[in-house]
Structure 1
Amino acid sequence: MATFRRFRPDDVNKFSKCNLDPLTETYELSFYLQYHAKWPSLFQVCEDVNGNIVGYIMGKVEASPDAFKFAEHYLPWHAHITALTVAPEARRLGIGKILTEQLELVADANDSWFVDLFVRRSNERAITFYKNMGYSVFRVVKDYYGDHATDPTQSSEDAFDMRKPMKRDQKLQHIRSDGEQHFVNPEDVW
């Protein structure tokens, strides 16, 4: 049996089951605490019967700065999934789906136009997961994952910027069906 609840600061000491996955990015403590302080309802965890964190989602609601309101890549009020991960032994139990749906409910409650996220182009399992949940590729961010910065033998990897419209976007103006044909550079993404 699993329990879903809001993140608490001491949960970072229980993330190891989730963060050992090579596709899960591990952040500094201050980053987790910033999300906890600013967007507590968008930072949820799943705990197993032994108190281990077996999944979590970190999100935020934001818009591009007003100074860029008329810029080509301006982002209106939306929710963003910063991280979603489930421990290997807890996968295929619906935990990721439940965490994502909880974030989407908060996004709708905050009158967001859409929920977006970035995923490595090579992460086919995650892309399939999100597509099954109604997300689609909005654009490709060239060289978003710059692994070469810390390891020169590694190359950069593109990201899919995936989106799912929320109730506010009744005309579906913030998604597109041909997103894999639209390319932007990382500096164009706020």
Structure 2
Amino acid sequence: AGIRNQTNHLILFNVFQPEDLMNMQHCNLLCLPENYQMKYYFYHGLSWPQLSYIAEDENGKIVGYVLAKMEEDPDDVPHGHITSLAVKRSHRRLGLAQKLMDQASRAMIENFNAKYVSLHVRKSNRAALHLYSNTLKFQISEVEPKYYADGEDAYAMKRDLAHMADELNPFVSAYRKPK
């Protein structure tokens, strides 16, 4: 399924493939101050191949991506983590970030029975905070001081996936015991 942008061009969404890694990294370098070595993208792609997605324009150029993983904490319920989300400036405010995040979240539920998804965001990144809090319904769980390499604090945020899980599997939710 795709989205049409303001000029009526189609944007397609796909699970990322190894051949997308260079273009994902290029998109990351254009959009974000947090950049990763190629081996970090490979690690995500090999460990959780079904969780990261790309958004491509009709020419096959990557205009956005979400890089996601599952947290491996045996003392906690299964949950995912968004390592990186980027959308090129030319393609912002079209719903691409929401679609990418929702696809990654659905894949976390379907493949790993994730109960929530977490992420970190710079305290100064007002646009991202608005997206995460207002559009995607993330909640701030704590402040992590000096989280970023330049010393800026981060908000640790969480999004409960129970409602999305119920939408994905209404049969199960209909027979779930009331709380």
- The alignment's TM-score, normalised by the length of structure 2, stands at 0.79
Over the aligned positions, Cα root-mean-square deviation in angstroms equals 1.8
Name 1:50's counterpart in structure 2. Answer: 59
SS in 2 for 1:131: helix
SS in 1 for 2:142: strand
Give distance in 2, aligned partners of 1:22 and 1:5: 21
- Cα displacement (A) at 1:21: 2.1
Name 1:3's counterpart in structure 2. Answer: 12
Name 1:63's counterpart in structure 2. Answer: 72
SS in 2 for 1:11: helix
Q: 1:115 to 1:146 in 2, by over 3 A?
A: same
Q: Aligned to 2:30, which of 4, 20, 27?
A: 20
Q: Aligned to 2:158, which of 151, 154, 163?
A: 163
Q: 1:88 to 1:19 in 2, by over 3 A?
A: same
SS in 2 for 1:106: helix
- Cα displacement (A) at 1:107: 2.2
Q: Which stretches in structure 1 are left out of the alignment for 5+ residues?
A: 70-74, 148-155, 171-190
> C-alpha offsets along residues 6-44 of structure 1, whole Å, 9 cap, x if unaligned?
112221332334531244x22111111111111111111
> C-alpha offsets along residues 39-60 of structure 1, whole Å, 9 cap, x if unaligned?
1111110110111100000111
Q: Which stretches in structure 2 are left out of the alignment for 5+ residues?
A: 1-9, 166-179
Q: Aligned to 2:115, which of 113, 116, 127?
A: 113
- For the pair 1:141 / 2:144, whether they are aligned, the reply is yes
Within a 5 Å distance, the mapping from 1:90-129 to structure 2 comes to 90-109=91-110, 110-129=112-131
Percent identity among equivalent residues? 33
CA contact (8 A) 2:28 2:35 kept: no
The ranges of structure 1 where at least 4 consecutive aligned residues each deviate by more than 3 angstroms after the TM superposition are: none
CA contact (8 A) 2:27 2:86 kept: no
Name 2:7's counterpart in structure 1. Answer: none
CA contact (8 A) 1:36 1:43 kept: yes
Number of aligned residue pairs: 152
Name 1:180's counterpart in structure 2. Answer: none
CA contact (8 A) 1:3 1:47 kept: yes
Query: Which of the two has greater helix per residue?
Result: 2
CA contact (8 A) 2:66 2:84 kept: yes
